[in-house]
Amino acid sequence: MPDADVIVVGAGLAGLSAAYRLAKLGRNVIVLERGEYPGSKNVTGGRMYLHAIKKNIDIPISEMPFERFVVRECITFLDQSSSVTLELNNYNVSEPMSATVLRARFDRWFSERVEERGATIITKAKVDDLILEDGFVKGVIVGGEKLTSNVTIIAEGVNSFLAEKLGLRKSFVPESVTVAAKGIVELGEEEINKRFNLKDKEGVAHAIIGFTNGVHGGGFIYTDREVVSIGVVCLLKSLVEHGKSIADIFEDFRLHPAVQRYIEGGKLVEYSGHLTPELGYNMIPKIYSNGVLIAGDAAGFFLEGGPILRGMDFAIESGSLAAEAANIALNKNDYSEQTLKIYMDLLNDSFVLRDLRMYKNSPKAISNPRLYTSYPKLVNQIFTQLMHIDGNPRPHMGSIIFNNILRNGQIIYLLRDIFDFLASL
């Protein structure tokens, strides 16, 4: 008899969602987490799109430790001394679509609910290797000890060294991974409401581009309950090619007047960092094999489409589907690849692979360098000139716009890029 029906590596959203489902099905499941507590190693932007957690976890959203519910979406094009912002306000939010979240708090809470359902969670337990016998994964090696299982679910996040060791996944190439630096600024609930013009548990999700001096990347501001999350996300390859440090780009962003106006006077209380996988549908690795399944970031389930970042809803859904596949294998007492392949079928029928397939060209669309340099500048130039009245003759609106676009010879690029964006994102 193995030590567990299922061993889950990693108590992030994917791992916890898998364990929740398996425990509910009455399975004997052990979760191993290398951190001091679940969430202690986990960083997101971020906001969670709530559809997946609503569907998979039978606890009301109002009882979950979300920070704020997003009622305002902003996209800012930043230049040195000006900015242009697009703002969408939802005034009648009966059913919130997304909520801001701090993972050290959220994952810890979630892990307690998973334990209540009957799963065992062991923290400070780093899995060093997988047990391989006769071509089957039969469990894990943790702190020099063997722990055996019928199925192992790898939910260890973006780096996924175990999947790499198994040969299911290759290491990242520099153009398919981004680096993020993030800061937490304490302002207090009242002050945040005042500065961002919010009520109760209302929140803002704000994406910003144009300040990275040509580096492929952008920034974000999310309002949490009593703190504000600010950060930058840049393509690893682009940082090295431009010889710019992600730490310095974070400082430029934090000290930019457009960001300072929100956080001035607050206290910086934490600094963190994380990677995101920008693999795209075509580079998703093989995610099942004899005795093993891969879920969440470890499987490369992440989507960046301009201001939209998605990974948490994919992590929750894929974790839950991995649990379902493992349960089917346990019922059949057959842990072969042929049986576990059902996981792939479940994913294909779900929003996870549907959306990743649908937006498979988004990594290419957002890798367009003009998005980070000339376009934010162009938008700022046009608006600045449109609004400029100083007693001298001001050209007509049409000629301001067309002159700016034509002067830079950008019209052809612009039309093509607009077409590409609309088709990919």
Partner 1 sequence: MAEVNKPLKINERLALTTYITDVESHIQVDNEKCKDCVTKACLYVCPAKVYELKDGKIIAHYEACLELGGCIIACHQMGNKGITWKYPKGGQGVVFKYG
Ligand X SMILES: Cc1cc2nc3c(=O)[nH]c(=O)nc-3n(C[C@H](O)[C@H](O)[C@H](O)COP(=O)(O)OP(=O)(O)OC[C@H]3O[C@@H](n4cnc5c(N)ncnc54)[C@H](O)[C@@H]3O)c2cc1C
Footprint of partner 1 on this chain (CB under 8 A)? 34-37, 39-44, 102-105, 107, 123-126, 142-143, 158-159, 161, 171-174, 177, 179-181, 183-186, 224, 227, 229, 236-237, 239-240, 242-247, 250-251, 254-255, 260, 263-275
Helix axis angle for 397-407 and 374-386, nearest 10°, is 150
Query: In terms of Cα–Cα distance, which of 42, 278, 302, 299 is closest to 166?
Result: 299
Closest contact distance (angstroms) between CB of 159 and ligand X is: 7
Q: Report what 181 binds from ligand X, partner 1, none; CB cut-off 5-8 Å by kind.
A: partner 1
Q: Nearest approach, Cβ of 338 to ligand X (angstroms)?
A: 26
Distance of CA 69 to the CA centre of its chain: 17
Which of 372, 160, 179, 185 has the alpha carbon at shortest distance from 286? 160
- What is the footprint of ligand X within residues 125-154 (CB under 6 A)? 126-127
Q: How far is the CB of 77 from partner 1 (least distance, A)?
A: 23
- 98-100 and 29-32: which strand pairing? unpaired
Query: Which C-beta is closer to ligand X: that of 233 or that of 321?
Result: 233
41 contributes a contact to ligand X by CB under 6 A = yes
* Cβ-contact 168, 63 below 8 angstroms: no
Contact 6, 326 (CB under 8 A): yes
Site map (CB under 6 A) of ligand X, residues 209-248, x = contact = ----------------------x-x---------------
| Dist. CA 250–CA 183, nearest whole Å | 9
Residues 304-333 touching ligand X, rule: CB under 6 A, are: 309-313, 315
* Residue of 28, 42, 76, 212 that binds ligand X (CB under 6 A): 42
Q: Is the peptide bond before 46 cis (omega within 30 degrees of 0)?
A: yes
Closest separation in Å from C-beta 226 to partner 1 = 10
Burial 34-51 (b: 16+ CB within 10 A, else e): bbeebbbbbbbbbbbbbe
Phi-psi region of 338 (alpha: psi -120 to 50; beta: other; left: phi over 0): alpha
Which residues 151-190 are close enough to bind ligand X by CB under 6 A? 155-157, 180, 182
Q: How far is the CB of 191 from partner 1 (least distance, A)?
A: 12
Which residues are near ligand X by CB under 6 A?
A: 9-15, 32-35, 41-48, 126-127, 155-157, 180, 182, 231, 233, 274, 276, 296-298, 302, 309-313, 315
